[in-house]
Amino acid sequence: MTRIVFAGGGTGGHLYPGIAIARALVRARPSIEPYFIGALRGIERDVLPRTGFQHLLLDLHPLYRRDFWHNWRTVAGAAGAWRRVGRMVREERPALVVGTGGYAAGLMLAYAVVHRIPIVQQAGDSVPGLTARFFSRWSRQVYLNFPEAARALHPYDPHALIDTGAPIEPPTAPRPDRLAARVQWGFPTSGGRALLIYGGSQGSLAMNRVVAEWIDRGLPEQLYVIWATGRATYEQFKHCEGARVRVRDYISPMAEAYAAADLAVARAGAMTTAELFAWGIPAVLVPLPSAAADHQTTNAVTLEQAGAALHIPQSQFTVERLDGTIRRLLEQPAELDRLARGAAARARPDAAETIAAQILALLDAR
């Protein structure tokens, strides 16, 4: 068996890419043994136990830029985590470490660099995060979701930057029938459109408040809504469930919603947009304004300029703006089709397999 460590997490955008790559590696070469390093306080605490992959969750914390006095937690957690990672490596030295971003990746990548374990990275956003930028100089390869990210990364070898797209679990082949998927959600098989709304893996209170008021005022006719609120606020909005609205705290697997959707309103995270595009779903993107370096806004602007989505800043995401945008798209099928073609053109559903092939070639070359 060949152990490959995946380091990253905190949010779904930093965890699910690693899971997709790990599964692609095992499919290609069953002797690969993925091992995940993550944070106790991240989404990986709930997700990794269901994957069947070995994992180690550590007391890791981000850098507290605003409440800097809390950084003692970051230092103390890192010291203990370094020792635990050392024990894991002594038990079985990995052939490679794959960093997928976020504060949960930094410590493992640092340990690998110090102990001369090769590293590669998967850079998720059009503006790479601090971890991706810092460790790019030691990375054998960096796999880019957005080719625009290359300008912020400085590897030792410029050929190490590889435009692969985002590693996702691709739609099944053949794809689920859209009308059959509507039946699963309790919607009619003919007429109307289905709208998927979700604010990332943890939901968005700001988006949810606007959506709830929009539903209360009255949806456009023949519009059906699948709305994932996030677990933290589900109780606050579950009363919005109705004949044309399905309210869920969390949707897993997302394929059930993607298969039924004709369009979406969502955050502008790299994994969210990659999955929507792989399914050919036109999207209205509402970036998370507090994202590091405001990278979601850059993602949304980049994708709007590419004709793959529409962009509404959160400060302008009002009931009136949401209602007007959705009604315009419903009344102009040609515009909806244009966005769907733009989304499909940006799609890279085989990215996980592409990255797995690159990693296996690196291992074989060694």
pLDDT tens column, 28-43: 999 999 999 998 888 8
> Whole-angstrom Cα distance, residue 29 to residue 324?
50
Q: Are strands 283-285 and 310-311 parallel, antiparallel or unpaired?
A: parallel
Tell me: the pLDDT tens digits for 2-18? 999 999 988 888 899 99
- Where residue 197 falls among pLDDT bands split at 50, 70, 90? very high
pTM given for the model? 0.81
Domains, the chain, ordered by start:
2-168+350-365 (3.40.50.2000), 178-346 (3.40.50.2000)
CA 25 to CA 4: how far, in whole Å?
A: 10
pLDDT in tens, 244-297: 999 999 888 888 899 999 999 999 988 899 999 999 999 999 999 987 778 899
List C-alpha distances in Å: 158 to 124, 130, 143, 165: 18, 19, 12, 18
C-alpha–C-alpha distance, residues 69 and 63, integer Å = 10
Q: Residue 272 in contact with residue 284, Cβ under 8 Å?
A: no
Please check whether residue 266 is in contact with residue 285, taking contact to mean a CB–CB distance below 8 angstroms. Answer: yes
